[in-house]
Structure 1
């Protein structure tokens, strides 16, 4: 009996040592890969910055109106609106996920906020409720993906449909106006601070915080690790489910923040708010260099991608291109960006 106990004890020790060794072996190349990808991301961001500069020069040559201060402020505001929701999408795509529900989350948060403003709810409570809607719907997405083991595409596609239906139900399919809203809430989307629109400052704060989180915190490193290789991340001791759940909550939160800015600027809660913005957010994120396969990219590229997307939209508007043709151009950009990413990935793996 003692011999059998010794054999079992030795077997357990051997298995434990083997698991520790596997975790160590998995984590070492994983984090080395992450350092290499960060260098590549920085190089790509510098290239994107030159693309943005050339686009601005071309826009100024195409139309004198581009450099008009009012037009530049409008472009900056568009960058902020594209950018905030795209930062949330960046977290999701870095884990090799996708969030198709951001537009519907914007709609639900918008109509709930407008409804509360319409009945005289204090602004702080309106903001908390609006953000709470985004957090809740994002958490449902995260739970469905991590606990229900649904593919992110299927889970967020379902939430996109359910969320839009919920927004229509709450608003009875009609815009919700709030004529007596306070000036404090209007300042969120219409105000200026140091000659720049408030949404631009909000976007700057969101992007800076996201950059710090992804670059300098254990959570940020875990996001990259999960996107690079979820199995290796698990062996390295990372709670993969918690990381994936968290990025969808972040995406929902930033979608709700975008909704509050929309509602404040337009003074109406639209059940059709955010239609198609999920594709624009994906386009901005991919243009910014974040890989759809996960583990590579970052917020700096997303900020530049948002600026490129907004400048392109402005150029098309100034050139008199119809909105329908603009949709064709945006769709083509998404396809080309993904094709480029797949070609680059095959080349790197060759």
Structure 2
């Protein structure tokens, strides 16, 4: 009735469907998929469970005021974390973002004191941040490891900030910066709005544009991407420039919130940003990244701190917990994630044959 090739295709489809049904009924396969699900989405589940636990143990935790306050504190981490997500997607890392925040904070205050208009200052410092990020990226493309380059930048940027400011914090009272740091639109604080816009744009670029595809391809298999004709050097410089620009924007938000420009701003912020990015599911080895996960990772870190503070936990212990979260994030990102994915890809039938 039908040509033989259609009959053969039908037989193949029947075999595929029977294989899928057999795997779907296999408990081992189900366990594997559950393991992958927990590894990939465990932080979302952890955030939900933590919020439920804190809501049951503290009447002040689940109030709109507290939630908006936590979101405002998380905003700079989200903003810079979006840039870090792009960098890590290429199998890179940027340890200099916290120090760049300090330098931008100092420059912002100094230029405002010098009489420059607020909007011009904002534009200038973002350009400076992007250029310094691009410089990091350029040096990295010469073959110097990203860890070494950005570690050197971590020291240099903050050092320049201390020299430029003579180690002193400079007050910021410009109305534009007051609005950026403490204002709100329809009851939603400005830092959260800025972070939301950055996250949405970052998600669109990473998931819906050709550039985002090239970024993931670069981190997945750089040599293969190079053979395909992708401009690897340009891509790497661009993602570090994006991170530098977003670090500058994060520095603006932090300076505006604290109402001063200080060389001490952003101290250890790079660890929070890296932890949030890794917690969210972005691979340390490149090729896989998620903006939504980075946002959730940033919120989780700040909700954990907030919950501990509400329960009167010593602030030093809060730092210990943050360090533990970072170690757990790296563990899940490297060891558990790879094992879970390998486990899920394995053929359950083959495993049963081996066990026999």
Answer whether TM exceeds 0.5 for this pair.
Answer: yes
Q: How many residues align?
A: 308
Aligned to 1:243: 235
Aligned to 1:72: 67
Query: For 1:56 and 1:311, how far apart are their aligned partners in 2?
Result: 8
Query: For 1:306 and 1:183, how far apart are their aligned partners in 2?
Result: 28
Aligned to 2:90: 95
Contact 1:45 1:304 in 2 (8 A): no
Query: For 2:106 and 2:91, how far apart are their aligned partners in 1?
Result: 31
Q: Is 1:175 matched with 2:169?
A: yes
Instruction: Compute the displacement of 1:222 (Å).
Output: 0.5
Q: Following superposition of structure 1 onto structure 2, how do residues 127-142 of structure 1 map, counting pairs within 5 Å?
A: 127-142=122-137
Q: Is 1:184 matched with 2:202?
A: no
Q: Is 1:119 matched with 2:114?
A: yes
TM-score, with length taken from structure 1: 0.84
Q: Following superposition of structure 1 onto structure 2, how do residues 30-41 of structure 1 map, counting pairs within 5 Å?
A: none
Structure 2 unpaired stretches of 5+: 1-34, 344-356
Query: For 1:43 and 1:337, how far apart are their aligned partners in 2?
Result: 13
Instruction: Compute the displacement of 1:331 (Å).
Output: 1.1
Aligned to 2:338: 345
Instruction: Compute the displacement of 1:47 (Å).
Output: 4.6
Aligned to 1:30: none
Give the CA RMSD over aligned residues. 1.8
SS in 1 for 2:292: helix
Instruction: Compute the displacement of 1:44 (Å).
Output: 6.3
Q: Is 1:290 matched with 2:266?
A: no
Q: Which moved more, 1:323-332 or 1:217-226?
A: 323-332
Instruction: Compute the displacement of 1:348 (Å).
Output: 3.1
Instruction: Compute the displacement of 1:297 (Å).
Output: 2.2
Aligned to 2:160: 166
Contact 1:188 1:261 in 2 (8 A): yes
Query: For 1:43 and 1:205, how far apart are their aligned partners in 2?
Result: 29
Query: For 2:289 and 2:121, how far apart are their aligned partners in 1?
Result: 34
TM-score, with length taken from structure 2: 0.83
Aligned to 2:192: 200
Equivalent position to 1:281, from 265, 273, 286: 273
Query: For 1:195 and 1:92, how far apart are their aligned partners in 2?
Result: 33
Structure 1 unpaired stretches of 5+: 1-39
Query: For 1:259 and 1:142, how far apart are their aligned partners in 2?
Result: 20
Query: For 2:114 and 2:59, how far apart are their aligned partners in 1?
Result: 45
Contact 1:41 1:296 in 2 (8 A): no
Aligned to 2:13: none
